[in-house]
Amino acid sequence: MQEVRAAFLLQRGRYGVERVSHLDALRWATSGSAACIGRPELGTITVGARADLALFRLDELRFSGAGDPLAALVLCGAHRADRAMVEGKWVVEDGAIPGSTSRR
């Protein structure tokens, strides 16, 4: 998400805040990136698609005041996934790798 935020801020600086939204940045990071590498089956949440997801908690102080949860991810600097799934298997749960001793 930090790279998505950086791309978002750079493009807003170049093209202006009215021409670049957080939804543009999320599209670049998902379906746009998949298209760049010639993998149209990636980058969307659809039935039959690969199950790779990252989920973020928005209950930290940094996200207060953000009325749109998607905007909060990009604008407020989400930096640590609470849960991550790769190929349909959870590889991060409650901010830690399952089976590890460290928890946040």
Statement: residue 7 has pLDDT above 90: yes
pLDDT at 103 over 60: no
Alpha helices in 16-52 (DSSP H): 22-27, 33-36
- Taking CA atoms, 21 is separated from 3, 48, 58, in Å, by 15, 29, 19
Query: Phi and psi (nearest 5°) for 54?
Result: -130, 130
- Which pLDDT does position 45 carry in this prediction? 84
- Between residues 104 and 52, the one the model is more confident about: 52
Q: What is the mean pLDDT of residues 66-94?
A: 90
